[in-house]
Chains A and B, each alone.
Chain A
Amino acid sequence: MGIYAEPRFLPCGDLALSVELGDDINREVNARVLALEHLIRQQRVTGVAETVPSYRSLLVYYDPLTVGWDALTKSLHTLWREARPEVLPPARTVEVPCCYGGDLGFELEAAAEKIGLPADEVVRLHAAADYYVYFVGFTPGLPYMTGMPERLFIPRLAQPRTKTPPGSVSIGGSQCCIYSVESPGGFWVLGRTPLRLYDPVSADPILLRAGDHVRFTTVTRPEYDAIAAAVADGTYTPRVTVAPLRIE
């Protein structure tokens, strides 16, 4: 299945509609969602108040007293025809330092045992992968990522914990997740990043964006502490590189 031949416009009350472009989770559908969002923002489509991308659909908030359903879906349909990955700006790659194991990665050993690999091999595989951010959501700044090596696929925790510290780098099912705020969690915590995915006191509080690539770099505990201190002082600049988008 994958991409629909025509977009589906689904009503979400009086102020929003969902533009659904496909029926599964894949990079191609998602790139079209992000491309459609990009065009809407770039062209400042009349009456559109806000957009929220997810795996395969774009939620569009609008002012119905400015633009009606028919006029809006017509302009969205026109933009959908042009919404190809090529219209997107080059993707960013964000380096996320991660201190694996120990008290920060308190489930690394247990996860390694469950997977049946040595802990250092789990770390090596996890840190070697290229992760792609489909979208950011659920809690502030939380990235929905793909790119986990298959050998690290693992059932979620049987008993979800009630509190997971922000910054926890964790895996569950086929997914890798970085918790952005303290939350309940059902993923295995392999390590923690000293970066803040969501920093409410910062002028630019959100680290990751939809379409970003994430690379984890292994840091020692002293390095973690040093970066955490610099982040707290506001003197740390995350390493971000920009490269042309490539769809595998």
Chain B
Amino acid sequence: MNLLIHDAGPQTTVQDLGRRGTLRAGVPPSGPMDREAFLLANRLVGNADDAAALECTLIGPRIELADERWVAVTGAAMPATLNGATMPRWAAFEVKPGDVLRLGPAASGVRAYVAVSGGIDTPPALGSRSTYLRGQLGGHQGRALRKGDVLPLGPPSGGAPAEVLGQFIPDYTQVPTARVVLGPQDDRFTKRGIKALFEAPYEMTPQSDRMGARLRGASIEHTRGHDIISDGVALGGLQVVGDGQPIVLLADRQSTGGYTKVGTVCSFDIGRVCQVKPGQRLSFKRVTVAEAHELLSAYRAELDHAIHWEETP
């Protein structure tokens, strides 16, 4: 009932859907950077949406399971092999005791997810198994995984051959468009500054992490400085500091901050933003709150039809 880490890769962590209700104490939710890819991995192996799985960053791990399980690999295009044989991604397959699953470097995208039927059963911290690296909380001893770590697994929940339908598998080589609702401090920016945000694409910089995606592009001009009275920072908050460059605040973000936020990237586009590699670009499109809610509703409904089961489980 264990998962053994032979090689961890640069940053492999245990994540579930994240913490709830802890931001008011300064503890971020954490959870998967790409929620959609994470959910689909869990669903492929018959897990509940909130089961814990592995999030792998840029280069995947080499792992072995102690008993028979269904496994699915989604997200970034990390070539998956089982005992050296190529395995499909975005699909469930069976792994036998002693089999070694290996994920190579991501050809495109940044984060891949490995879900195992039964889920990873590390002890919850503040109601979640998600790893919060800066706070040394949750996951496996509050840290990224290392060679030799052994993770407990929950009782297997069964499984069946299944795959994600082609139209739901993103092409991470493309330049994505992230939908943005203006606010809460859009009144602190010039018209020209806001126009710049939606005009030309921004480039992902290597300084990005689970806390925020630091972007480079046209300067988003303030009317009167970038300091505000510190307030809460929502997921996707587009914080603009003195140099006019935006930072998209993500799963491990600070709960509050003292910089202006011109807009907020919609929740349903956050996952795709988190798959943009440093040096790649992304663009922004303005939507209203009402449009964002319609898009969210459609997105959740679509996600429920993304998986094809070859036989009824």
Chain A contact residues, CB within 8 Å of chain B: 10-16, 18, 20, 23-25, 37, 49-59, 61, 64-65, 68-69, 135-142, 144, 180-181, 198, 200, 205-206, 209-210
In the complex, B184 has a CB within 8 A of chain A: yes
- Say how far A234's CB is from chain B's closest CB, in angstroms: 16
- Say how far A139's CB is from chain B's closest CB, in angstroms: 6
Segment among B56-64, B95-103, B229-237 that sits at the interface with chain A: B229-237
B296 touches A12 (CB 8 A): no
B235 touches A50 (CB 8 A): no
State in angstroms the CA–CA spacing of A137 and B26 once bound together.
4
- Say how far B297's CB is from chain A's closest CB, in angstroms: 6
Segment among B114-122, B147-155, B254-262 that sits at the interface with chain A: B254-262
B256 touches A52 (CB 8 A): yes
Q: Contact check: which of A61, A65, A142 meets B26 at CB < 8 Å?
A: A142
State in angstroms the CA–CA spacing of A15 and B300 once bound together.
14
In the complex, B265 has a CB within 8 A of chain A: yes
Segment among B46-54, B65-73, B130-138, B276-284 that sits at the interface with chain A: B130-138
Chosen A-B contacts, 30 in total, with CB atoms closer than 8 Å, are: A11-B182, A11-B289, A12-B181, A12-B183, A12-B184, A12-B237, A13-B234, A13-B265, A14-B181, A14-B266, A14-B289, A14-B296, A16-B264, A18-B184, A18-B232, A18-B234, A23-B229, A24-B229, A50-B20, A59-B233, A64-B296, A137-B26, A138-B256, A139-B254, A140-B27, A200-B135, A205-B27, A206-B25, A206-B27, A210-B24
A69 touches B289 (CB 8 A): yes
Which residue in chain A gives the minimum CB-CB distance to B236? A13
In the complex, B142 has a CB within 8 A of chain A: yes
How many residues on B have C-beta within 8 angstroms of the other chain's C-beta atoms?
47
Most chain B beta carbons < 10 A, residue from A59, A140, A206: A140
Starting from the known contacts A16-B234, A181-B135, 15 additional A-B residue pairs (CB-CB under 8 Å) come to A10-B184, A11-B264, A12-B184, A13-B235, A14-B295, A16-B232, A18-B232, A20-B184, A23-B229, A59-B23, A135-B24, A137-B232, A198-B26, A198-B135, A210-B24
Contact A137:B256 (CB < 8 A) given known A11-B181, A52-B23, A200-B125? yes
State in angstroms the CA–CA spacing of A108 and B90 once bound together.
58
Chain B contact residues, CB within 8 Å of chain A: 20-21, 23-27, 125-126, 134-137, 142, 181-185, 229-237, 254-257, 261, 263-268, 289-290, 292-293, 295-297, 300
A52 contact set on B, CB distance < 8 A: 23-24, 232, 255-256
State in angstroms the CA–CA spacing of A51 and B234 once bound together.
10
Q: Contact check: which of A15, A24, A65, A200 meets B234 at CB < 8 Å?
A: A15
Which residue in chain A gives the minimum CB-CB distance to B187? A10
- Say how far B132's CB is from chain A's closest CB, in angstroms: 8
State in angstroms the CA–CA spacing of A18 and B257 once bound together.
13
State in angstroms the CA–CA spacing of A206 and B27 once bound together.
9
State in angstroms the CA–CA spacing of A10 and B90 once bound together.
38
Contact A140:B231 (CB < 8 A) given known A65-B297, A135-B256, A200-B136? no
B297 contact set on A, CB distance < 8 A: 64-65
B25 contact set on A, CB distance < 8 A: 136, 140-141, 205-206, 209
Q: Give the top 3 A-B pairs by smallest Cβ distance, nearest first.
A: A59-B232, A13-B264, A137-B256
